[in-house]
Amino acid sequence: MKDFTGKIAVITGGGTGMGRELALQLVAEGCSVAMCDVSSANMAETARLCAKEGAQGTRVTTHVADVSIEDQMNRFRDEVRDQLQTDKIHLLFNNAGIGGGGSFVAGSRAEWEKTFNVCWGGVYYGCRAFLPMLLKADEGHIVNTSSVNGFWASLGPQTSHTAYSAAKFAVKGFTEALVNDLRLNAPHIKCSVVMPGHIGTEIVANSRKVLSGEEAPSAEALSQARARMKEMGVAADQLSDAQIQAMIDTQARAFHDNAPTTAAQAAKVILDGVKAERWRVLVGDDAVVMDRLVRGDPEQAYEPAFFQRLAQETGWQLGGLAAQAQRGG
């Protein structure tokens, strides 16, 4: 698919971050977009920006849906069909994701399963819901967002990171298996697995809101954050709840602001990968370095010395990783 003009794209998690930037760049190239998110307010802002950037004739629709719930994804599909008056789409970006559920042993089962179900279930339900519409198109492309944590299941030796990593490994394996499945059974549809490194998005703050259902951290969330900070050697017992909350907010901003790759840059890499029909898309220089190091010495990938080398070669700010630890992802 060399040209997006006149095509229809579906994007999950279109309210912020890479989802928003994918929508903006697609409409600028003449592609209509249907997006879903759990936040109608965030999607409204994306739609407003798309109206300014979009080429003549493009359409943008917004749909509230939780990608971890199949009925809501099927409703999203039906709304796309009805509102865009089409039985086909050309591009499916299973982009939505959250962090959380860091520890399988000591963490909350509900948080673990919600994180896994959004990050893996959203991809699975997205493909199930929209595959019939892709099959009816003359050409199609599925883009599933995994992560560098889809081939390196860690944030470092001091942080548990199981739900997110397990889900992203599942996304990577599923998409790789789809390469041959589609070649055999639907050769006009291509697929790509996207593995971003540290990208400047709102995932830290958004994950907290999705998991707690609240704008501000709950008492339970603050308690969990305090426990994680103690595991990392911070004297958290000496801090008030207000100080803990302020640190969480600061880390969320730092994760966005200190990222070596912006969401707009990431979206361009992804769309260039679609045009080049690349099934494996690493996003960010840090992702490229990490891929090389893990492949080069997989037996040592979870040892402290490996993490120190990784941080040194990627130039990662450890504060960015600590921000992820604060939201458990």
Tokens of 182: 């589609």
Active-site residue, from 124, 125, 164, 302:
164
- Residue 164 annotated among the catalytic residues of the structure: yes
Question: What distances in angstroms separate CA 293 from CA 150, 198, 289, one per listed residue?
Answer: 14, 16, 6
Tokens 């990784």 belong to residue:
310
Dihedral sign, Cα of residue 198, residue 21, residue 47, residue 14? negative
Measured in residues, the chain has a length of: 329
User: What's the rounded Cα separation, in Å, for the pair 268 and 291?
Assistant: 20
Tokens 């769309």 belong to residue:
271
User: What's the rounded Cα separation, in Å, for the pair 89 and 104?
Assistant: 38
User: What's the rounded Cα separation, in Å, for the pair 117 and 126?
Assistant: 12
Tokens of 143: 């883009």
User: What's the rounded Cα separation, in Å, for the pair 37 and 281?
Assistant: 24
Burial of 57 (C-beta count, 10 Å sphere; 0-12/13-18/19+): exposed
| Neighbour tally for 251: CB within 10 Å | 22
Tokens of 118: 């959004």
Residues forming a β-bridge with 196: 283
List the catalytic residues. 164
